C-alpha cells in the first residue's frame, strides 16, 4: 500500500530571502502526523534568493545532505571544507561530535533551489566528515542510481545508518524497478515533474510512504526527478542511545 502525501499539504515558510516547503515537522511548522518516517527526519524544499543564505550555525549527531536542483549552493564549515554544489552534485555532512557550517546562494543574480535532507545516524559521537560527489544525468536517466549507502559502494556517499538513497530521471517510456526486499520501508520524494510508482501518480513535491515495500516500479514519467529512500522498518526516527 502506498500512502501519498500531496505537495500542497506540506508546511510552508516564507522568510523573504528563503521560501521553504517542509515535508516533515521543522522550525515553526508542527504536525503530529508528520514527524518523519523511519530514520528520515527532514526533507526541506528550499529556494534561496541571490547572495542570501544560512549563516554559520552548529549541528551534531545528524547526517545532513543537500541535493541541488537549480543554481549553485556555496558551503563552508569548521572542518575547513569550502565548496560550491551545483545540479548533479550531492553533498553529505556527517555532523558527529559537532560541526559549524554555512550555506549560501553562490550567485548574486539567480536563485538556488535545493533539497536539504536529514537522516538520523545509527551511532552518536562519530568523527565529523564531509563528502561531495557528482552524478551525471546519464547515470540517472531511465534508472535509479544509488547515491547514498552505508558503506559508500559503487561511488555513492557513505551514511552512518542502514539507509540507501537512489536518484532517477524518467520521461516517456523510460522505466525502472527497485526491489528492496520485504520488511523495508521506502519513502519516495518527487523533486519535479510527475511519475507513476506501482501505478500511483506522483506530482512535483508529492511524497509517498511505502511499508514492507518489496518491489517498486517507476514509469510514465513527465520530466520526473525522483529520490527514493530505502529505510529500516521503523515508523518514526529515534536517536540511538
pLDDT digit string, tens, across residues 59-82? 999 999 999 999 999 999 999 999
Mean pLDDT of 75-101: 95
Which residues are registered as beta bridge partners of 113? 47, 70
For residue 61, give its domain range.
Answer: 2-231
Predicted local confidence at residue 241, as pLDDT = 80
Q: Is 160 part of any domain?
A: yes
Confidence check: pLDDT of 94 > 90: yes
User: CA–CA separation, 228 vs 241, rounded Å?
Assistant: 27
pLDDT band at 30 (very low <50, low <70, confident <90, very high): very high
Q: What is the CATH number of the domain that holds 59?
A: 2.60.120.10
Average of per-residue pLDDT values in the chain: 97
Q: Is 239 part of any domain?
A: no
Q: What percent of the chain has pLDDT over 90?
A: 99
Nine cell digits for residue 166: 537512489
Give me the DSSP letters along the chain: -EEEE-GGGSEEEE-SSEEEEESS-BTTB--TT-S-BTTEEEEEEEEE-TT-EEEEEEE-S-EEEEEEEES-EEEEETTS-EEEE-TTEEEEEE-TT-EEEEEEES-SSS-EEEEEEEE--SSSSPPPEEEEEE--HHHHBTSEEEEEETT-GGGPEE-SSS-EEEEEEE-TT--EEEE--TT-EEEEEEEEEEEEETTEEEETT-EEEESS--EEEEEEEEEEEEEEEEE-S-SS-----
Q: Is 220 part of any domain?
A: yes
CA distances from 59 to 15, 135, 167, 219 (A): 22, 26, 26, 38
Query: If we measure between CA atoms, which residue out of 219, 211, 215, 208 comes closest to residue 235?
Result: 211
Q: What is the pLDDT of residues 148-178, one digit of tens each?
A: 999 999 999 999 999 999 999 999 999 999 9
Q: How many domains are contained in the chain?
A: 1
Q: Is 175 part of any domain?
A: yes
Q: Is 77 part of any domain?
A: yes
Predicted local confidence at residue 49, as pLDDT = 98
Q: Is 236 part of any domain?
A: no
User: N- to C-terminal Cα distance for the chain?
Assistant: 32
Q: Is 112 part of any domain?
A: yes
Mean pLDDT of 2-15: 97
Confidence check: pLDDT of 9 > 90: yes
Q: What is the pLDDT of residues 191-208, one digit of tens each?
A: 999 999 999 999 999 999
Predicted local confidence at residue 21, as pLDDT = 98
Confidence check: pLDDT of 1 > 90: no
Confidence check: pLDDT of 91 > 90: yes
Predicted local confidence at residue 48, as pLDDT = 98
Q: Is 238 part of any domain?
A: no
pLDDT band at 130 (very low <50, low <70, confident <90, very high): very high
Amino acid at each position: 500500500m502506498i500512502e501519498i502525501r500531496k505537495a500542497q499539504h506540506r508546511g510552508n515558510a516564507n522568510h523573504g530571502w528563503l521560501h521553504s516547503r517542509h515535508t516533515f515537522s521543522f522550525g515553526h511548522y508542527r504536525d503530529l502526523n508528520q514527524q518523519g518516517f523511519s530514520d528520515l527526519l527532514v526533507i526541506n524544499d528550499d529556494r534561496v534568493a541571490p547572495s542570501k543564505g544560512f549563516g554559520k550555525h552548529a549541528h551534531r549527531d545528524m547526517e545532513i545532505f543537500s541535493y541541488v536542483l537549480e543554481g549553485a549552493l556555496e558551503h563552508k564549515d569548521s572542518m575547513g571544507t569550502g565548496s560550491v554544489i551545483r545540479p548533479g552534485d550531492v553533498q553529505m555532512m556527517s555532523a558527529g561530535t559537532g560541526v559549524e557550517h554555512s550555506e549560501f546562494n553562490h550567485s548574486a543574480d539567480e536563485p538556488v533551489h535545493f533539497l536539504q535532507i536529514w537522516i538520523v545516524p545509527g551511532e552518536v559521537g562519530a568523527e565529523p566528515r564531509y563528502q561531495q560527489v557528482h552524478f551525471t544525468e546519464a547515470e540517472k536517466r531511465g534508472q535509479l542510481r544509488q547515491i547514498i549507502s552505508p558503506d559508500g559502494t559503487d561511488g555513492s556517499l557513505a551514511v552512518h545508518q542502514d539507509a540507501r538513497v537512489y536518484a532517477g530521471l524518467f520521461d516517456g517510456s523510460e522505466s525502472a524497478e527497485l526491489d528492496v526486499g520485504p520488511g523495508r520501508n521506502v519513502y519516495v520524494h518527487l523533486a519535479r515533474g510527475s511519475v507513476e510508482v506501482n501505478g500511483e501518480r506522483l506530482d512535483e513535491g508529492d511524497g509517498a510512504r511505502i511499508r514492507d515495500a518489496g518491489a517498486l516500479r517507476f514509469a510514465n514519467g513527465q520530466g520526473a526527478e525522483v529520490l527514493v529512500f530505502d529505510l529500516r522498518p521503523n515508523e518514526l526516527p529515534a536517536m540511538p542511545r
